[in-house]
């Protein structure tokens, strides 16, 4: 079955893929405690699998983006969605740490690199008209956050009713819809727009990007985003249960993060279309640092947890639209999937460290306080790093219109 492609169909199908892919992924933090107890693992075992997943997601992203640039996003999304489905399915059947690392780590990570919102955003950058691009990038990112709001209570409900193993099997059914939806995102975009850009090979594009200071700064800043998101999505649920709160509160905290980031991500896409993207990013990271500091020093109550979740939700994936848009501003759309893939690789290296280090710190100290302070420091550093970025074409691409 092949979906007829119009701009509206592209956006709807892409948003559904983003919602499913990111929603299922972010609900996995809910499985940290129940699956570890069910299988007899320590918390570090699950954290390591999630860290591997984040790293493989990042490692695979530039390659998946390059293939999407050359052959279209639809094929990559379909293949990635199939691998993602297999990973979640086999993750449910994993009985030791090694198989969990392979299924929930390697397979899900590689599946995400081809079958999640990052390829959807690359498709939007190519298939959506330039005047609607920033808006579409914000909408696609917001859809991923809506998935977090939808799938967090669904995942918790499945765990409570059927246990963690059956819950994962049920979630894999949703992921299996991605290859079908991917048929709407075929094609390489406007040939007129591509013709207006200089002919640059993939190798030349990588070399030129890595020599461009603003691209390097953007890449470094996105590392912090990954660290924050992976630490919170993996370790906020067990952090709250350690404080004596229910699993339901943890699920609703993740859900609120997703719900409020629908507002945050969409607003970032709109604001980034008319105002400075680098200043927007700097403000987002500074606000994250303030939110973490307040959450650490204010006495923790259910109300405080929910307020923190809503606040951090506004800042959650709101970094993605201006970051991906800056890549297109600097280098055009010919290699946007691949070049954003390298930026996203940095994000996922940060995610690997955030997920894994959270488990290591907890096992070593019995608490997460050190991780919260590290998150504050990194947020302030990212706010500073974005300030020198130039929002204009890189020299090799300067002849083409921005």
> Closest Cα to residue 223, out of 114, 138, 345?
345
Return d(Cα 324, Cα 113) in angstroms, integer.
16
Q: Residue 402: pLDDT above 50?
A: no
- In which band, very low, low, confident or very high, does the pLDDT at 399 lie, cut at 50, 70 and 90? low
What is the pTM (predicted TM-score) of this model?
0.78
Query: What number is the average pLDDT over the span 325-350?
Result: 86
pLDDT in tens, 287-316: 999 999 999 999 999 999 999 999 999 998
Q: Are 214 and 12 in contact (CB under 8 A)?
A: no
**Encoded tokens for 206:** 């990588």
CB-neighbour burial class of residue 312 (10 A; exposed 0-12, middle 13-18, buried 19+)? buried
Distance of CA 377 to the CA centre of its chain: 21
**What is the C-alpha separation between 334 and 327, in angstroms, rounded?**
11
Interval 201-224: pLDDT, tens = 778 888 888 899 999 999 999 999
The yes-or-no verdict on residue 165 having pLDDT over 50 is: yes
CA–CA gap between residue 238 and residue 230 (Å, rounded)? 13
Q: Which residue has the higher pLDDT, 134 or 109?
A: 109
**Is pLDDT of 140 > 90?**
no
More confident: 358 or 380: 380
Mean pLDDT of the chain: 87
Q: Are 208 and 332 in contact (CB under 8 A)?
A: no
For 200, the token pair is: 């640059």
Residue 340 has, within 13 A of its CA and on its CB side, a CA count of 34
Q: HSE of 28 in the Cβ direction (CA atoms, 13 Å)?
A: 31
State in Å, rounded, how far the first CA of the chain is from the last one.
Answer: 37
- At residue 54 the predicted structure's pLDDT band, cuts being 50, 70 and 90, is confident
Tell me the CA distances in angstroms from 49 to 44, 146, 158, 176, 197, one per residue in order.
Answer: 9, 25, 21, 22, 41
The structural domains of the chain, ordered by start, are: 7-189+200-395 (1.20.1250.20)
pLDDT at 3 over 70: no
Better-scored residue on pLDDT, 71 or 232: 232
397 vs 31, more confident: 31
Ranking 93-102, 130-139, 148-157, 376-385 by mean pLDDT, the lowest is 130-139
Decide: 339 and 346 in contact? Cβ < 8 Å.
no
């Amino acid at each position: 079955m092949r979906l007829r492609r119009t701009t509206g169909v592209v956006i709807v199908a892409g948003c559904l893929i983003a919602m499913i892919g990111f929603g299922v992924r972010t609900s996995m933090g809910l499985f940290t405690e129940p699956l570890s107890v069910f299988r007899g693992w320590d918390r570090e075992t699950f954290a390591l699998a999630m860290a591997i997943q984040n790293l493989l997601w990042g490692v695979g992203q530039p390659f998946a983006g390059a293939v999407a640039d050359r052959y279209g996003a639809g094929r990559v999304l379909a293949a990635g969605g199939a691998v993602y489905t297999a990973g979640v399915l086999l993750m449910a059947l994993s009985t030791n740490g090694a198989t969990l690392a392979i299924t929930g780590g390697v397979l899900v990570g590689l599946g995400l690199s081809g079958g999640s919102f990052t390829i959807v955003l690359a498709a939007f950058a190519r298939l959506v008209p330039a005047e609607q691009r920033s808006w579409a990038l914000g909408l696609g990112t917001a859809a991923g956050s809506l998935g977090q709001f939808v799938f967090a209570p669904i995942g918790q409900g499945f765990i409570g009713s059927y246990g963690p193993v059956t819950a994962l099997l049920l979630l894999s059914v949703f992921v299996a819809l991605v290859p079908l939806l991917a048929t709407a995102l075929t094609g390489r975009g406007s040939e007129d727009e591509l013709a207006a850009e200089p002919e640059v090979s993939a190798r030349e594009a990588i070399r030129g990007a890595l020599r461009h200071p603003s691209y390097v700064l953007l890449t470094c800043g996105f590392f912090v985003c990954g660290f924050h998101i992976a630490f919170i999505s993996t370790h906020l649920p067990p952090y709250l249960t350690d404080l004596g709160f229910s699993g339901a509160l943890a699920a609703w905290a993740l859900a609120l993060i997703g719900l409020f980031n629908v507002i945050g991500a969409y607003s970032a896409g709109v604001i980034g279309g008319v105002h400075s993207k680098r200043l927007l990013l700097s403000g987002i990271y500074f606000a994250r640092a303030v939110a973490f500091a307040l959450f650490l020093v204010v006495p923790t109550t259910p109300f405080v947890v929910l307020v923190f979740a809503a606040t951090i939700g506004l800042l959650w994936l709101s970094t993605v639209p201006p970051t991906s848009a800056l890549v297109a501003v600097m280098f055009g759309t010919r290699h946007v999937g691949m070049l954003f893939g390298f930026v996203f690789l940095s994000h996922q290296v940060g995610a690997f460290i955030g997920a894994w280090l959270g488990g290591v710190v907890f096992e070593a100290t019995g608490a997460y306080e050190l991780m919260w302070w590290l998150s504050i420091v990194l947020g302030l550093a990212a706010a500073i790093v974005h300030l020198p970025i130039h929002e204009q074409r890189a020299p090799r691409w300067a002849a083409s219109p921005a």
